[in-house]
Structure 1
Amino acid sequence: MNGVRGILLSFFINTINYILPKLERKVVFIGYPEYDDMLRGLILQSNVLCKDLYILVKNQSIGKPNWLSNRCYIVNKNSIAGIYHLVTSRRIYFTHGILNGFKPLIQEKQLVINLWHGMPLKKIGYMDNKSNFPQFHYTLATSPFFSEIIQEAFGVSADKVIISDLPRNTILKSKIFSQVLEDISRNGRRIVVWLPTYRTSKVGDIRSDSSCTSLLGIEGIDLLKLNIELNNQGVELFIKPHPMAKFNENEMDTMSNIRIINERWLTDSDLTLYQLLSYSSALITDYSSVFIDYLSLERPIVFVMSDVKEYESRRGFSFDLNLEGVPGKVISNSVDFEVQLTNAINEPSNYRKCSKKYYSSSVLSDLIKIK
């Protein structure tokens, strides 16, 4: 029954989308998380400020961030109002999807741009045996290397992939003032951010890509020892689990030098993730595309990859991820983890290893000028 309802709803939405006129001033953004740095970076493009921006969200419990102007309207994605704004908008930007079954019109009538949520290290789209991903007119790639991968993943031609920096990297490279982070830096402490990807997801595409159950992607870490070592090094570690990750909320407690954060903490602190990253002196991650963006800062990157073989066999990578060629120290076990980690974040950046291959465009295309 749900399948029939879904088909009928898609037919109805696509029909009224075809019939209703589009408002040139109206722009719709759909992201995940709702107040993503792709949105914030897009807003910083001056021409967007001349538009009426409607942000379609699923979760309205998180308050409207202070960095959104009065001309940015928050609307429930699945409401009648949300559908109305979607089908009357001249431009639609999204990072994950729009609505199931939504079919874009010709771009002269309604332009749809897929900002996506980073360059694909992991297999996506057709490469991941998926075919139900959203349709669009244009998408972005940070280099010709990733353009070819995106063409294959989404089944589009090269002229549909714009070689450009990503909107969120505007935030990464701007270092927008934050009183919370300034206070930490003023006390002589360094900020390091750990962004592990999910192994088992709880929302969206439900899957299990590794048997590792730790939200950090590595078992057996003594967090008390790590906290002591971080304190000795004058480092404050922010760990933000992937928003799709399934894990026990009580698995880790915030300590003196380790903070576990989420989207609500960022909003309450008047921050976004890439603003936090802009203040960081090093990044810790694994199979997340965030490391591609972080290359632009030319700062140390540490890769915690204890399950790389299993992850590759279950999920797969979009290209040959040669661990010897990644731009940073690789940690593959928890033996003396605290020593391995603190040594790694103090090593000089190794960004030149692959920066041009993965990140060759530092110029953000004016996405508003695309007709």
Structure 2
Amino acid sequence: MKSFLFRLYLSLMKFRAHFTTMENNNIVILNGSGRSGSNGYAFYKWLLLNHPEYNVSLIEPWPSSHLKWEAWQKIGAARYVITTHQPFKVRKHQINVQLWHGVPLKRMGIMANNTRYRDNKRNEKLWHKNADIVASSSDLYETLMSACMAIETEKYHKLGFPRLDLLDKPVISKEQLLKDLFNTTDSEAQIGIYMPTFRYELEDKTIMDKIKEGNFFAFEDFDGEKLNAELAKRHQYLIVKLHPYEMRLFANFKSNYSNIAFLNNDYLFDHNYDLYELLGDTDFLMTDFSSIYFDYLHLNKPIVFVTNFLQQYKKTRGLLLSPYDEITPGICVDSEAELINNLDHLDNQQIVNRRLYWLHLTSEAKGDSYCQNVFEYMTQEYRG
């Protein structure tokens, strides 16, 4: 019922916004990715800096039933509508540029085990009707996305993803990041970041209970003090960036760890940072089924894959590629004990070679700036 009412709301607001006068130099970005690696936000910041001749508006969070009418007027007046999730536009003559939010590893749409036929068919129609330009990174990306969303091949253009422009240009130094999050200085510091996928969809209350108790890995053998001590011995620092829903479970959790810090969206919004503007300062990534690892390949740094819910995730939603240990160029661990045993040797030449192999498969877009690629294509191909 909620989804029906929300679709009805969108239809009504689209109808009203349709009567707003469209201007060719108006760009609106509907950002559904927050600050955790948003192509929309990265593109927005780049446009403000490089193309002041355009009127650029950032609408977030999107989608939302709480937008002011002024926001809908901006959407209706835009020639170009940039989206990070479902394609959207108010009128036929607008140009929708679909930036999506990652190379998919998890099944979604018609490929997922936990979606409904009716919803999938509705999504297919939205992509067919509304998406004009789908930014792509590779043939593999296009194959995976079309398997899930049935996107027509002519919509794809290998322009690259704007957020990747941020990886090699951190907005602050590693020393400043260490001071901000850990309140310390350490010339030998190695900073890691742990970014798991959204585990709530596993529909397992025991996982959420573990997270609520402070067990952010949801390991059976979790011991936060022990892990912190092992990290400290090695001058390693771990940033924990959970899904916003999981972070809310930590409302009353105060970290007293010296080498583990929790990064929430407040820090990013307060400083106008996107997470990808900090990733270049990190030395290794830890994740499970999040597609962030495809992006992190561009930094050519170690990746640790946490697999304690691998079989459960395969059954509940499914993965697009397998076997898992072949598609993940890094060390796999399913317990804290195994993680600690690998902290001294996160990388080797064989793993480096595998990272480069997967980077080659997932990154074919050319150019020095993916933001520039997207801007030039959308404005030159679709002139007013």
Q: TM-score under structure 1 normalisation?
A: 0.82
Alignment of 1:18-33 (within 5 A): 18-33=18-33
- Report how far residue 259 of structure 1 moved: 0.2
- Report how far residue 217 of structure 1 moved: 4.7
Alignment of 1:119-158 (within 5 A): 119-128=103-112, 129=115, 130-131=119-120, 132-133=122-123, 135=127, 136-158=131-153
3-state SS of 1:335 partner:
helix
Return the match for 2:375 from 359, 368, 371: 368
Quote the Cα distance in structure 2 between the aligned partners of 1:18 and 1:162: 28
Q: What residue in structure 2 maps to residue 328 of structure 1?
A: 330
- Report how far residue 235 of structure 1 moved: 1.4
* Amino acid of the structure 2 residue aligned with 1:366: N
Quote the Cα distance in structure 1 between the aligned partners of 2:159 and 2:241: 27
Q: Does the CA contact (< 8 Å) of 2:31 and 2:38 recur in 1?
A: no
Q: Does the CA contact (< 8 Å) of 2:288 and 2:307 recur in 1?
A: yes
Pair 1:5–1:284, CA change in 2 (3 A): closer
- With 29-38 and 146-155 compared, the bigger mean Cα shift is at 29-38
Q: What residue in structure 2 maps to residue 235 of structure 1?
A: 236
Quote the Cα distance in structure 2 between the aligned partners of 1:302 and 1:344: 11
Q: What residue in structure 2 maps to residue 79 of structure 1?
A: 68
Q: Does the CA contact (< 8 Å) of 1:104 and 1:112 recur in 2?
A: no
Quote the Cα distance in structure 1 between the aligned partners of 2:248 and 2:314: 21
Quote the Cα distance in structure 2 between the aligned partners of 1:157 and 1:271: 34
- Report how far residue 141 of structure 1 moved: 2.6
- Report how far residue 283 of structure 1 moved: 0.7
Fraction of identical pairs, as percent? 21
Q: Does the CA contact (< 8 Å) of 1:195 and 1:239 recur in 2?
A: yes
Quote the Cα distance in structure 1 between the aligned partners of 2:265 and 2:145: 28
Q: What residue in structure 1 maps to residue 55 of structure 2?
A: 52
Pair 1:104–1:225, CA change in 2 (3 A): same
Return the match for 2:160 from 140, 157, 165: 165
Mind listing any 5+ residue stretches in structure 1 that lack a counterpart? Answer: 60-74, 202-206
3-state SS of 2:375 partner:
coil
Q: What residue in structure 2 maps to residue 41 of structure 1?
A: 42
Pair 1:212–1:343, CA change in 2 (3 A): farther
3-state SS of 1:236 partner:
strand
Return the match for 2:362 from 339, 358, 363: 358
Mind listing any 5+ residue stretches in structure 2 that lack a counterpart? Answer: none
Equivalent pairs counted in the alignment come to 345
* Amino acid of the structure 1 residue aligned with 2:196: P
Quote the Cα distance in structure 1 between the aligned partners of 2:237 and 2:8: 52
Q: List structure 1 segments (4+ residues) > 6 angstroms apart after TM superposition.
A: 1-4
- Report how far residue 212 of structure 1 moved: 3.3
Q: What residue in structure 2 maps to residue 62 of structure 1?
A: none
Pair 1:260–1:182, CA change in 2 (3 A): closer
- Report how far residue 6 of structure 1 moved: 4.6
Quote the Cα distance in structure 2 between the aligned partners of 1:140 and 1:252: 41
Pair 1:182–1:333, CA change in 2 (3 A): closer
1:256 matched to 2:255? The reply is: no
Quote the Cα distance in structure 2 between the aligned partners of 1:323 and 1:210: 27
Quote the Cα distance in structure 1 between the aligned partners of 2:249 and 2:11: 40
- Report how far residue 40 of structure 1 moved: 4.1
3-state SS of 1:112 partner:
strand
Quote the Cα distance in structure 1 between the aligned partners of 2:74 and 2:186: 45
In proportion to residue count, which structure has more helix? 2
1:105 matched to 2:67? The reply is: no
Q: Does the CA contact (< 8 Å) of 2:15 and 2:90 recur in 1?
A: no
- Report how far residue 188 of structure 1 moved: 2.9
- Report how far residue 210 of structure 1 moved: 8.8
**CA RMSD after TM alignment:** 3.0
Q: What residue in structure 1 maps to residue 177 of structure 2?
A: 181
Q: Does the CA contact (< 8 Å) of 1:148 and 1:158 recur in 2?
A: no
Quote the Cα distance in structure 1 between the aligned partners of 2:74 and 2:204: 36
Quote the Cα distance in structure 2 between the aligned partners of 1:7 and 1:222: 45
3-state SS of 1:302 partner:
strand
Q: Does the CA contact (< 8 Å) of 2:105 and 2:290 recur in 1?
A: yes
- Report how far residue 257 of structure 1 moved: 0.6
- Report how far residue 360 of structure 1 moved: 3.0
Pair 1:6–1:310, CA change in 2 (3 A): closer
